[in-house]
């Protein structure tokens, strides 16, 4: 009896690697990682309801994402009376008026104001990338003794509503400290406040933390200083997250309304977000909707073009693997 027990115990120990190995293979294949196993998905009573739920979720996402944009396009090419009488109609009941887009472009000078918006967005993006990348480099790579305190202070600013800092920021722009210059009616009044983004600093810092430290040590052994390490090692490895931050900065500047309205009273310098309400004062509703659609079209196109880089950078949990 004792020999049979020993033989069964030995056989059990020999079977354990095969069982665990098979389990590892199933996990590696991705068959057992979801709530519903791969074998259950093959069953008809599971596959059909799951497919229906997936289709319904997809339809809901399409309605929530594309619905407002498609409704805006429908209102832009419809007569004003159609929009007022049946605002939720799927199609214009009358003739489609594509000329509303050209009329809005001419009456609202959309092209000129889009140029101002592009200048503001480009300057805000450059200023944001410069400040956020250098700040994240100091906190993540240089790691000074006071780094944790500064990181905590930056994190604390995320809990301050932006409207609270509006008046102090405006007073600062009216009379800059040290130099005493008035920055109103200049693009610097928009660029400089947009440069400081606590969220972007922390996001970039998190990405810099994931870069292997061996890269920095090898660069320093080769005689590279802090600036060279920053420009030749850190920035090339951080292109995915820099693309995400750049796109977020452009979109934030493109949709900003209140701050450019305050610091750019000169109509010749205002972006399209500030100029569109003026179009509403002297045009019909369909022309207003056409102007809104033209102003919204460029950010949407930018996201569609760079969506792969944007989603890859947002979904990246780590940086470069060693």
Helix or strand or coil: residue 204?
helix
Residues 189-234 have pLDDT tens digits of 999 998 888 899 999 999 999 888 888 888 888 888 889 999 999 9
Closest CA to 318 of 183, 177, 209: 209
Using CA atoms, how far apart are residues 228 and 95, in angstroms rounded to an integer?
62
User: Residue 8 burial (CB < 10 Å; 0-12/13-18/19+)?
Assistant: exposed
Task: Name the residue ranges covered by the structural domains of the chain.
Answer: 102-315
The pair of three-digit structure tokens given for residue 210, joined into one six-digit string: 């994931």
CB atoms within 10 A of CB 112: 14
Number of H helices, E strands in the chain: 18, 0
Q: pTM value?
A: 0.75
CATH topology for 102-315?
MetI-like fold (1.10.3720)
Using CA atoms, how far apart are residues 60 and 273, in angstroms rounded to an integer?
29
Could you give phi then psi for residue 169, rounded to 5 degrees? -70, -40
Residues 113-160 have pLDDT tens digits of 999 999 999 999 999 999 999 999 999 988 888 888 988 898 898 888
Sign of the torsion angle spanned by Cα atoms 69, 70, 71, 72: positive
């Amino acid at each position: 009896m004792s020999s049979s027990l020993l033989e069964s115990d030995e056989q059990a120990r020999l079977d354990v690697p095969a069982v665990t190995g098979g389990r590892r293979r199933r996990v590696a294949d991705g068959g057992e990682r979801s709530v519903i196993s791969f074998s259950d998905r093959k069953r008809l009573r599971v596959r059909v309801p799951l497919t229906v739920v997936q289709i319904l979720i997809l339809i809901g996402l399409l309605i929530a994402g594309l619905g407002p944009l498609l409704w805006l396009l429908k209102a832009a090419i419809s007569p004003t009376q159609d929009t007022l009488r049946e605002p939720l109609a799927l199609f214009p009941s009358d003739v489609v008026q594509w000329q509303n887009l050209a009329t809005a472009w001419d009456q609202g000078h959309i092209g000129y104001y889009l140029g101002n918006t592009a200048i503001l967005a480009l300057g805000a993006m450059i200023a944001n990338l410069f400040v956020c990348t250098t700040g994240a480099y100091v906190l993540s790579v240089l790691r000074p003794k006071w780094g944790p305190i500064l990181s905590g202070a930056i994190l604390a600013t995320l809990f301050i509503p932006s409207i609270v800092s509006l008046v102090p920021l405006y007073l600062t722009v009216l009379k800059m400290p040290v130099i005493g210059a008035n920055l109103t009616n200049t693009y610097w009044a928009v660029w400089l406040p947009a440069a400081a983004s606590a969220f972007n600093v922390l996001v970039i810092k998190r990405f810099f933390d994931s870069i292997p430290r061996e890269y920095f040590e090898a660069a320093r052994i080769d005689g590279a200083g802090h600036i060279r390490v920053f420009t030749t090692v850190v920035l090339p490895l951080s292109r995915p997250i820099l693309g995400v931050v750049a796109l977020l900065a452009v979109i934030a500047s493109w949709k900003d309304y209140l701050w450019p309205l305050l610091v750019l009273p000169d109509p010749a310098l205002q972006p399209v977000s500030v100029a569109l309400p003026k179009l509403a004062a002297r045009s019909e509703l369909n022309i207003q909707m056409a102007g809104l659609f033209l102003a919204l079209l460029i950010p949407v196109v930018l996201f569609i073009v760079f969506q792969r880089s944007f989603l890859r950078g947002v979904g990246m949990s780590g940086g470069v693997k060693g």
